[in-house]
Amino acid sequence: MDITFILISVAKIIGLVFLTILPMVAYSVWAERRVSALIQDRVGPNRVGIPFTKIRLAGLGQPIADGIKFLLKEDFTPSHVRKGYYWLAPALTMVPALLTCAVLPFGSELFGIKMVIADLSVGPLFIFAIASLSVYGIVLAGWASNSKYPFLGGVRSSSQMISYEISLGLSIVPILMIFGQLNLSDIVMEQARNGWALLPLWGDRLSLKGFLLFIPIFISFVIFTTSMFAETNRLPFDLPECETELVAGYHTEYSSMKFALFFLGEYAAMIIGSGLAVTLFLGGWSLPFGWLVPEDGASVPFWMGALHILSFLGKVVAFILFFIWVRWSLPRFRYDQLMRLGWVFFFEIALFNILLTAGILLFVK
């Protein structure tokens, strides 16, 4: 463990988490409000710009104003809650969401340094292991609040998250079978050379086998994305909060920055989820059609590395916009429908999908 390694890791963590993901969280809230407004023929927050001037910047100052508001609000703890767990819960939702970004490769190389915080060889497993911890935050919030609505929200979310984790995990098994490894950086590199999982139009995958494999990959993608919605508690699967029935679900009793932490945790989970989907299915940081793929061992010039990071962020932003678009198009599921969808359809389809992939890999040369 030499000191340069630690310094570089710290720089990467600060660069990715504090300078990229957290601002993205703030601005995805803004995007959510603007896009939802436009979908519903409204205007949305368009006023806050530079303070004390008349410059409005289409409301880009709104997240900062919101942040200040959250910090300045009274932090109210009801007398009937279990204080310790009540305080722990928001942190437990936020931290796992941010931890998972450690294994996401967000770029190729910059100054000869790999653009991933921890180049683990068990990438997706690490993400699932950590992401499933965030259910504890919600369950604890529901139980510690000691009131009925949060309790119901907590119960719902634990069963929902546990059910959908199964189809989430199973849905990426075909991808792992096809690429034959669990290291996300190598998976992205493979996709950069030989065609994205969802766009097999160049390299090795421009073949009969590639096209046949497209079918299970597409099924995987649909299951993965849908389960991702359920995992991050987004509409149409936001039953844990479900405003119409449960007031605000598990965070009903929370106020000020603790509430904001739940909010940030949800959006952070959404960003990381989009990052994982982009990495597994849409070629991560690579550009389409095998442009500008770094050679083995050759150093990557600065502009190319920067371009790769931009390409990753661009894809993630597009995916987040998709999340928002779906949220404002679909109504919420009923609870039994949600469970049926998870256990009766997705679970079986994902299992069958693994068989299908295995068959194609085995018999088609």
Partner 1 sequence: MAIVVKRPKLSFWEKLYLPGIIKGLGITLRHFFLSLTGKTKVSMQYPEEKWDSHLPEYYRGAPALVTDEQGRERCVACQLCEFICPPRAITIHPEEIPSEDKWAKVEKRPQEFEIDMIRCIYCGLCEEVCPEQAIFLRKEYAFTGLKREDMVHNKKRLYEIGGVREGLVNKWNELK
Q: Which residues are at the interface with partner 1 (CB under 8 A)?
A: 35, 38-43, 325-326, 328-330
Minimum CB–partner distance for residue 144 and partner 1 (Å):
37
| Closer of 30 and 151 to partner 1 (Cβ) | 30
Minimum CB–partner distance for residue 77 and partner 1 (Å):
33
Asked if 171 and 227 count as a contact pair (C-beta separation under 8 A), the reply is yes
Q: Among 131, 357, 84, 100, which residue's Cα sits nearest to residue 231?
A: 131
| Closer of 42 and 83 to partner 1 (Cβ) | 42
| Closer of 41 and 74 to partner 1 (Cβ) | 41
Q: Among 321, 362, 363, 346, which residue's Cα sits nearest to residue 165?
A: 346
Minimum CB–partner distance for residue 38 and partner 1 (Å):
5
Question: Side chain identity at 95, as an amino acid letter?
Answer: V
Minimum CB–partner distance for residue 228 and partner 1 (Å):
15
Minimum CB–partner distance for residue 42 and partner 1 (Å):
6
Calpha distance 234→220 (Å, rounded):
19
Calpha distance 23→28 (Å, rounded):
8
| Closer of 60 and 125 to partner 1 (Cβ) | 60
| Closer of 7 and 38 to partner 1 (Cβ) | 38
| Closer of 46 and 147 to partner 1 (Cβ) | 46
Upper half-sphere CA count for residue 336 (Cβ side, 13 Å): 0
Q: Among 185, 193, 163, 162, which residue's Cα sits nearest to residue 343?
A: 163
Minimum CB–partner distance for residue 325 and partner 1 (Å):
7
